[in-house]
Amino acid sequence: MNQNAKMQHLEQPLLLQHHQVDGSYFDHTSKTGTADLSCCKIRTASKQDQVFGAMQKNYVLHVDDDKNNGNENNDEEYVEFENSRSRSPQLVPPPGAPARRSFASKVALQKRLLDFLYLLSMCLVGLTSNIVCSLIAPILPAEYAKLNIDVTWVGSVFAVYSVAVLLFTPVISEKIAAKNSSSSKNSEDETSTSTVSTTSTTERTGKDLVDAQMKTTKSNYTSSTTKTRITILLFGLLLQGLSAILFGYTPIWFASNPEFVLYLQIFTRLLGGIGQAFSNLAIFSMVADRFVDDLGLVMGLNEVIIGVGFSCGPPIGSWLELIGGSFSCPFLVSGCLMLFVAVPVVVLLAWFELGSRSNRKILNRSLVQPEPGNKDNSLVQPPLAKAKVDAKNVEQEQAAQTPTRTPSYTKNADKITKEEEATTSNINLYSVLAKDNFAILIPAGFLFLGTFVFGLVEPIYAIHAKQFLHLDVLQIGYMYAILSISYSLCGVPAGTIADREKLYLRSLKLGAGVSGFCLLLLGLYHSVLLGEGRSDERRTSTDELQECTVIEAVILVLLGLGQALLLVPTLPAMKQTQDSGIHNLQDGQPMQKSENTNNTNTESVTEQVVALFNIFTQLGLIIGPLLGAWLRKVSGFSSTMLLGAVMVWGYLAVVLLRTGRVGGGGDRVTKATSSSRDEKEESTSFGSSSTGVVVQEI
């Protein structure tokens, strides 16, 4: 090192990914980068260098003043690197500077933070939504009795919430799909105007350029989709919170008009259901695309939160009404919890997610667009721009000589873009349903049965426990808590097991078998073993009642396990049918990504799948209670449970027959798919390039 060299802190950090070494291009990331960098000519930082350098922070370089004397061109400096013989130039931090994290570690930390915010948002949305939905159970009948409103309207107030979710979910889904299609088209137009469309001397180079353009389109489309989902999520949370507060204060503001109170509360519950349709569709779509490989585990966690919300909602409502001394207190607290806890977390998630996407977008643009006024693109955007310019020049020369042999990937790119745009615009609920002979209906049917079983058991079990087991209100609450706790505790393990081999259908079959068996036990134990028609004196024995209570508690524990296996894997199973098809949903067939899946419409497909998930969930919650109440009134508790077992096992038998028949040809289909894939790869394979022009991604 020169004796006169001194340490100098550069005001603008330099991007050392690419620079001039003795007047020639040098990339320090190359494996062959062994040049002597003791005396390098480096350009001062451009706008692009500042963007990348901001991530690398400021460093100190050795500047040789002797060699800079007389240099009137401020655009160049002669610098020395302390580790000049290494393969990769080493930047020396300023004296006393604290140790800085590498760029890779910052990206990993940001990813973990985003994962945590996604999970926290999902948990808060599920918890607050279900608390608001269920806390009216113990306090609304007494309030209606006080206002001289018929208590039978309580069931309608409950049902209107699920009806709103059921009716508005497909409408919202269609609107989002249309908006995503428009956003995809706009992002493609933006990419086409901001990116230089070039072709290459070889097919491989041209394909790389097209892939880079399509990758930029996908990034813009995903960012727009994320903004749409976060906006919808925030709107849904605000609507739920405000409607909950309005629901609680309606009896106070209009106590003199009970009929108006009833209608207004039904309207506010309708608004709350619409808000939940917005928020559920958005958060489930975000989570489904964020945690692709662990979706079963994440949905298991979500089911735990849902169970906690439904279990804690009624006691929280009673406790808050007792403390506050008014009917409005529980709804004011729950609404404020949603507005001032869940909403800020989602805003924080949006700030981190969209901020990181914006930074990456700025960086990508800086690496592919020339700086205004700079005519030498190779100094601003090597190696990508240099490769593009060289490829375009060489292609023009070859086109003049042999124009028929010059490949044109611009036309192919336009064709692919038009096909993807048409595919994205045609994505709707029916297209998702009809794919692969309506394969999505298999897990959707299991989802319907799972929520149907809950709706069948919960409304009428309280009457059964009071009449047959002679339990009071507190003890009945304990029996419900046993079912909810069992379901919540088994949710995460059920999702983990289903995620292990991506065999979600096996878990659904097992859950249906266990749930049907528990319904059968409840029906047979009640009618055959003990006798539903026995006298009251026979059932008033304390020991006998305790024994019956313990046995039914065990049955409820098993029912919670079966319901967890039946419900938790349904969303990943439904999404898997769109990614892989019915053949990869079979037992023994690992999940494989479909060759025909377009990256630009993945988000639209996810939203349609989530919409179907919400529809079948609410459909079971609506039909189950209505059918259960009618069957119990007509034929009794025992017959209702037995009929439920027959329905669950009947559907399971149909699925076993169909999947067995389809699975028999699964190997042939898989082989045929593999053969067609190999032929496709051979037909689209690219010959070896004889030129040295290579497109590199920075």
In a shared domain, residues 485 and 555: yes
In a shared domain, residues 46 and 120: no
| Cβ-based neighbours of 479, under 8 Å, separated by 6 or more | 461, 465, 471, 549, 552, 553, 556
| Structural domain contains residue 391 | no
Burial 219-245 (b: 16+ CB within 10 A, else e): bbbbbbbbebbbebbbebbbbbbbbbb
The Cα 472–Cα 475 span in angstroms is 5
Question: What is the DSSP code (8-state) at residue 632?
Answer: H
Reported as type and span, the H/E element at residue 389 is: helix 384-401
If we measure between CA atoms, which residue out of 669, 528, 530 comes closest to residue 592? 669
Positions of the chain with pLDDT under 50: 1-92, 191-221, 362-389, 394-395, 398-425, 533-538, 581-600, 661-698
Which amino acid is residue 534, in one-letter code? Answer: R
* Number of independent structural domains in the chain: 3
The pLDDT assigned to 100 comes to 53
In a shared domain, residues 297 and 221: yes
The pLDDT assigned to 494 comes to 80
Which residue is associated with the tokens 């662990």? Answer: 294
In a shared domain, residues 239 and 298: yes
| Structural domain contains residue 694 | no
In a shared domain, residues 569 and 665: yes
| Structural domain contains residue 454 | yes
| Structural domain contains residue 250 | yes
If we measure between CA atoms, which residue out of 295, 248, 306 comes closest to residue 125? 306
Q: Cα angle at 136 between 566 and 154, to 5 degrees?
A: 90
For the domain that residue 239 is a member of, what is the CATH number?
1.20.1250
In a shared domain, residues 630 and 529: yes
| Structural domain contains residue 399 | no
Three-class secondary structure of residue 534 per DSSP = coil
In a shared domain, residues 53 and 149: no
631-636: long-range pairs with CB below 8 Å, 24+: 632/460, 632/463, 636/527, 636/532
| Structural domain contains residue 290 | yes
| Structural domain contains residue 364 | yes
| Structural domain contains residue 696 | no
For the domain that residue 468 is a member of, what is the CATH number?
1.20.1250.20
In a shared domain, residues 354 and 502: no
The pLDDT assigned to 292 comes to 76
In a shared domain, residues 481 and 585: yes
In a shared domain, residues 153 and 273: yes
Three-class secondary structure of residue 26 per DSSP = strand
| Cβ-based neighbours of 609, under 8 Å, separated by 6 or more | 288, 432, 440, 571, 574, 575, 578
In a shared domain, residues 438 and 513: yes
What torsion, rounded to 10 degrees, do the Cα atoms 31, 34, 40, 42 define? 0
Which residue is associated with the tokens 């394909």? Answer: 207
The pLDDT assigned to 268 comes to 92
Range of the domain at 453: 432-670
The Cα 537–Cα 555 span in angstroms is 25
In a shared domain, residues 535 and 624: yes
The Cα 13–Cα 669 span in angstroms is 57
The pLDDT assigned to 523 comes to 86
For residue 172, give Cα distances in angstroms to 233, 243, 273, 348: 12, 19, 13, 24
Asked if 640 and 632 touch (Cβ cutoff 8 Å), the reply is: yes
